[in-house]
């Protein structure tokens, strides 16, 4: 019974987290426990527990006597978080270049190829999920569990915004080309180059920051269509 409840709780958390990531639940939107309970055919208790879990991840803000809302990030906070994200991922790539095994290389190439297929299909939603898997292969390739967990947690926090970036014109193609450079550096065992390329790939600045800011109203309004 305990295992069942744990699995149900994880499934519920992942489902609501995904709704936030794809914009079905927009930043600043009130999260009505009764509506969510009806949607997922559960009581309000597991919904409340799930919202507490999501609050601990920074995806939800729980306000005393006013309920929960989807967390919002301002421009300054976004830049700060992407700055940290770029450093964490750069470290993962540097360590992956030194520590990945031949089996890890196979997984990396498979994830890279899956991203290429999504790119060629001109499907930013599919690319979003393949891209996520690609990055996780590199996190795991660092063979540092603490770094893996911290990097993945921050990635989750930024998922709605990273997904929105992929809707900017030509960003999917540019993203894959950047991946290609990172993959080549990792396979060559060049940690410094892998680190540098990954940092540049993740960091938002200049025109990329301007594009993201211009796209934010889509996310705030909840107009990003969920992937199917």
**7-50 pLDDT, tens digit each:** 677 789 888 888 887 778 888 899 999 999 999 999 999 998 99
Retrieve residue 38's tokens: 């009806």
Helices (H) and strands (E) in the chain, counts: 10, 3
Answer positive or negative: Cα dihedral of 181, 124, 88, 78.
positive
Please report, for the chain, the start and end positions of each structural domain, with discontinuous segments joined by +.
2-70, 75-220
CA distances from 140 to 85, 130, 132 (A): 16, 15, 12
What percent of the chain shows pLDDT beyond 90? 56
pLDDT, tens digit, 9 for 90 and up, residues 155-213: 988 888 888 788 787 889 999 999 999 999 999 999 999 999 999 999 886 677 777 77
Cα 79 from Cα 111, distance rounded (Å) = 27
CB 30 within 8 A of CB 69: yes
Greatest alpha-carbon pair distance for the chain in Å reads 56
Cβ atoms within 10 Å, residue 211: 16
Question: Which CATH class, in words, describes the domain spanning 75-220?
Answer: mainly alpha
Tens of pLDDT, residue by residue over 96-105, are 999 999 999 9
Q: Treating both helix axes as pointing N-terminal to C-terminal, what angle do 124-141 and 75-99 enclose, rounded to 10 degrees?
A: 50
CATH T-level assignment (fold) for domain 2-70? Arc Repressor Mutant, subunit A (1.10.10)
Which pLDDT value is given to residue 2?
43
Signed CA dihedral, 211, 23, 156, 60: sign only: positive
| E-strand stretches of 114-164 | none
Question: Backbone phi, then psi, for 67, in 5-degree steps?
Answer: 85, -165
């Amino acid at each position: 019974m305990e295992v069942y409840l744990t699995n149900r709780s994880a499934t519920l958390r992942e489902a609501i987290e995904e709704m936030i990531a794809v914009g079905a639940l927009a930043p600043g939107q009130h999260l009505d426990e009764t509506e969510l309970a009806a949607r997922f055919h559960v009581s309000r208790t597991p919904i409340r527990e799930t919202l507490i879990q999501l609050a601990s991840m920074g995806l939800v803000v729980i306000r005393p006597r006013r309920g929960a809302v989807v967390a919002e990030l301002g421009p300054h906070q976004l830049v700060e978080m992407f700055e940290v994200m770029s450093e964490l991922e750069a470290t993962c790539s540097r360590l992956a270049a030194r520590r990945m095994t031949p089996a890890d290389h196979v997984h990396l190439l498979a994830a890279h190829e899956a991203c290429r297929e999504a790119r060629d299909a001109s499907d930013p939603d599919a690319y979003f999920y393949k891209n996520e898997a690609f990055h996780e292969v590199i996190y795991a390739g660092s063979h540092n569990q603490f770094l893996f967990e911290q990097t993945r947690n921050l990635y989750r926090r930024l998922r709605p915004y990273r997904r929105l970036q992929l809707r900017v014109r030509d960003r999917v193609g540019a993203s894959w080309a950047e991946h290609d450079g990172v993959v080549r550096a990792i396979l060559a065992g060049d940690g410094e180059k892998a680190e540098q390329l990954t940092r540049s790939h993740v960091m938002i600045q200049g025109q990329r920051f301007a594009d993201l800011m211009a796209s934010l109203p889509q996310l705030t309004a909840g107009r990003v269509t969920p992937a199917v």
